Amino acid sequence: MQKRSLSRNRSDNSQKQFMIKHVKKSTKQQSQPSSNNTSQTMFDGQPDDGLLLDLIFKNENIVQIDISLESFAQDNQFNTQCIDIHLFLVALQEDVNNPQVRRNLAYNWHYHHEHLLCLISDIPNNSFCLSNHLVTTHLRGKMIDWMIEVFGNYENICTDFTFFRAVTLMDHYMKVSTSHHKDSDLHLIGVACMFIATKLEDIYHITLRDFVSRVSHNKFSAFQIKSAELQILESLKYFVTFPTTLDYLRVLMHRCFNLNDNPNLQNIQTTAVFILKMTLFDYKLLEFQPNVLCCAILSYAIQKFYTDKSEQIDQSVLDKYQHAILKAAQCDHNHYQQCSNYIYTFAYSFQQKFSHVQNLEKYG
């Protein structure tokens, strides 16, 4: 693991050195515009990585594109991560026809474009998952709240990916199951889904002994949990590695902001993930496609970020955010508008509508 980490660091450093040399060279020499613009227009209108970096940096005064490279590097308030990203963006803007940059640009676009299409097609449609069962939506919400508490007590082992995997497994099983379950069955189903999820997502998963003694408090035996696990796996035909809405949100964040440790972007991401957890409690929101749902949530999180800071932002800037996110998510504008309106109302009325939820604020 240490050797792999060292080799990855060498690779990253070599790429950074190439970009820095290329940018310094391009800033010293004014290159003549190329007569062949076919390669430059090949990717026009296509979503690229870091699509919203320039917008968020411009509005937060983190990056000023018009200042010189030397003053940019000397300013102490800019961290090295922002400098590297700025150098990368300038390198692409200065000489997009450079062969190495061109290959990286083409590879990144095709890879992420295909990945996004596969992600959208592979996420299961769990709308109306309780229609064939005698399980109430209220009890489903209580089960999700209990899952938050269970995984919250294992925060050193489990992550948000484990939680979203467990909920999605439960909903997808209820969607495809031919058995007619009732309220009393949901507890065991939820325990089995958490057991599958932690084995899939966590390096050191929650043991079966813990699920018997600590999680279910000896209500279910190891045999019952393993039997329910087998029933779920057979019903899903062992297809349990499908993407969740959290996976899609992370991909959308990467397409919009790239990999960045800026605290403002981390604030937006944390807010978006928390709202995404809130949406799991609303049975109606399962009807929206994941790309539409995540697009509306990210737009709401960005606007809430500026609202919480009591900063005035022009509507034109928000429209640019919305347009860029829609472009990255590749979702229909009408569906987005419908989902966005629902999210705004849902976020303000959540505590009143779901007053029984106790663990989201504590462990979320």
Q: Is 68 helix (H, G, I), strand (E, B) or coil?
A: coil
Reported pTM:
0.72
Residue ranges of the alpha helices (H) in the chain?
Answer: 2-28, 53-60, 69-74, 80-94, 99-122, 137-152, 160-176, 186-201, 208-210, 222-235, 245-257, 263-279, 290-308, 315-329, 333-348, 350-353, 360-363
Encoding tokens for residue 123?
């996420």
Mind listing the pLDDT tens digit of every residue in the chain (364 residues)?
A: 444 444 444 444 544 444 444 444 444 444 444 444 433 333 333 444 455 655 555 554 433 333 333 443 444 444 444 545 554 555 445 555 667 667 776 777 677 777 777 777 788 889 999 999 999 999 999 999 999 999 999 999 999 999 999 999 999 999 999 999 999 999 999 999 999 999 999 999 999 999 999 999 999 999 999 999 999 999 999 999 999 999 999 988 888 877 667 788 888 899 999 999 999 999 999 999 888 999 999 999 988 888 887 766 777 777 888 888 888 888 888 999 999 999 999 999 998 999 889 999 888 7
Q: Cβ-count burial of 291 within 10 angstroms (0-12 exposed, 13-18 middle, 19+ buried)?
A: buried
Q: Taking each helix axis from N to C terminus, what angle separates 160-176 and 186-201, rounded to the nearest 10 degrees?
A: 130
The number of angstroms, rounded, from the C-alpha of 55 to the middle of its chain's C-alpha atoms is 19
